[in-house]
Amino acid sequence: MAVKRAKYLVADDEYHFVTDDKALRVLDSNNNEIGTFRELGFEGKIITSGDYRDIKHTGVYRIKGVGGLPGNIPGDKESILTVTSIGDQNNPELTFYKVISPNGVILENTVSRSNQSGWGSGGVDLRNTITNINNILGDISKLQTDSKNMTGAINELNSKINNVSDNSQSGLESLKKDSDNRYLFKWGDTVNGDLSIKFGAKYKLRGKNGHDYNLASIDDNNNIHIGDADTNLHFWGNENPTFNGKKIFTEANVGSGSGLDADKLDGIDSSGFLKTNSDDTKYSGLRMDKRNIHFNIKDGENTETGLVFDKNNNWTAKVVATDIGDVHIQTGGKEYKYPPFTFNQDRNFVQYGGGHWIRANEPQLNFQTFDEKTGNFDKGVGFFKPAWDQGSLAVGNWNTSEVVAQFAVGANHEAVKLNHSPYIGDHNRRLFMQDEQPSGDIPVGSVWIGI
């Protein structure tokens, strides 16, 4: 067929007017026919194979079975693909694809060389998205505000919130009344039902320092925790707090009459303490560290108070004190008119009945005199059993460090030994025995006296 030389350039494609069949054909830069103007501009050129990105020339296409399209574009049904390209048609700088499927899905994609924007929704998907947004927002005509459009309603609510002052909550109360009563307000409100916090979450209080402190929480073992280890916990109430209906003892309500009945004190059972309101028994030793034991004796009562030693509930010995300051020692489990031993208030020691025994390796009975001028005692004199003669009794003068006399001396413990000559009276008239005894036949028992 004859082609008229008149032509129209569209990018690199030439649009020629064919005069004999009144058809306009589109050729590429190599004069290869791409399609007719009717196909590319109105009816759509049919393509049933390949990838959509192989289609690079501007025009309208009827595609079916073409690859590379999103999954919501049916491949077994014919769809409309419009392509708009700029630059070299074999390798365009920018290509815009728009596909319309028979199920109402409209998708768009922009390709720039090796980059692409990706397929975006349009058509039914766009309507569905708008419907979902409307469902989320709700019917704004039902807003309980004076304004029934979104912007006006938000501005109205914001104005009411801003009208809340420190001394008045009328704006907030109006907001609550006009909108929703299901929520609590930060400025104060009342809960009309139970308020639960899930285990693991905590009810916290924010301090002045901005730190949040745990007030109450419950763990996954249903253990309730009160307070925070990082701060102090104070409980307030009257002076008779209770726990499970039982009294809690504090320093304000303990003491006499409080009813506190403790099994142990400092870890010791109550049976380990001596009673003060009745007789009691101690089963271990009593040690006083630089302290005294005091017994109270009332004035005017001729009574005795002290220590009593029992055996099978019968006393065997007593050490008692009287109200006048005497100390009596009773022994043998018998009550005597005069106690065997008495230390009276005049610092005298009185013994009634019985003997006085001193039993030791070297027993002594010494007497010392106090010198008020010097404030000291003299070395004293006394009786002792000498180590060199255990069967005798000696008299010692510790001031002169000498033995004055010795009794029961000798093998038969019969002799008396005087280490100094005795004298009688103030003129020192002596009665003595000397070594220079007369010689000769002197009878036994004779005494030589020198005056």
DSSP for 309-346, written as a single string? EEETTEEEEEEEEETTS-EEEEETT---SS-SEEE-TT
Answer yes or no: pTM beyond 0.85.
no
Whether residue 390 is predicted with pLDDT greater than 50 in this model: the reply is yes
Q: Are residues 262 and 307 in the same domain?
A: no
Q: How much is the pLDDT for 309? A: 80
Residue 173 belongs to a domain: no
Nearest alpha carbon to residue 97 among 78, 113, 84: 84
Q: Determine, yes or no, domain membership for 420.
A: yes
Which residues, at least 6 apart from 186, have a Cβ–Cβ distance to it below 8 Å? Answer: none
Please identify, among 130, 151, 179, the residue that sits at the C-terminal boundary of a domain.
130
Same domain, 61 and 115: yes
Instruction: Give the phi and the psi of residue 67 in degrees, each rounded to 5.
Output: -90, 170
pLDDT, residue 289, reads 80
Asked whether residue 283 is assigned to any structural domain, the reply reads no
Q: Are residues 409 and 368 in the same domain?
A: yes
Work out the pLDDT band at 374, boundaries 50, 70, 90.
confident
Burial of residue 21, with CB atoms counted within 10 A of its CB: 0-12 exposed, 13-18 middle, 19 or more buried: exposed
In a domain, 150, yes or no: no
pLDDT of residue 4: 46
Range of the domain at 45: 18-130
**Long-range pairs for 339-342: beta carbons < 8 A, 24 or more residues apart:** none
Residue that finishes a domain, picked among 224, 257, 273 = 273
Between 152 and 62, residue with greater pLDDT: 62
Whether 175 shows a pLDDT value over 60: the answer reads no
Kindly state whether residues 224 and 266 are assigned to the same domain.
yes
Residue 135 three-state SS: helix
The mean per-residue pLDDT over the stretch 186-199 comes to 82
Beta pairing, strands 402-409 & 7-10:
unpaired
Residue 261 lies in a domain: yes
Which single residue is written with the structure tokens 């209770």? 242
More confident residue, 139 or 303: 139
Within a domain: residue 380? yes
Last residue of a domain, one of 130, 152, 167: 130
Same domain, 305 and 444: yes
Backbone angles phi, psi at 110, to 5 degrees: -115, 125
- Clarify whether residues 373 and 339 are in a common domain: yes
Q: Is residue 367 part of a domain?
A: yes
Task: Based on the fold, state whether residues 225 and 343 are members of the same structural domain.
Answer: no
Q: Can you tell me the distance from the alpha carbon of 142 to that of 153, in angstroms, rounded to the nearest whole number?
A: 11
Residues 85 and 222 in one domain: no
Mean pLDDT of 203-229: 91
Higher pLDDT, 329 or 177: 329
Range in 146-155, 238-247, 259-268, 441-450 with the lowest mean pLDDT: 441-450
Give the least confident one: 64-78, 143-157, 220-234, 399-413.
143-157
On whether both 316 and 226 belong to a single domain, the answer is no
Looking at the structure, tell me whether residues 49 and 123 fall in a common domain.
yes
349, 438: one domain: yes
Same domain, 81 and 222: no
Q: What is the mean pLDDT of the chain?
A: 78
When divided into structural domains, the chain yields a total of 3
Q: Please report the pLDDT score of residue 100 as a whole number.
A: 93
| Any domain includes 107 | yes
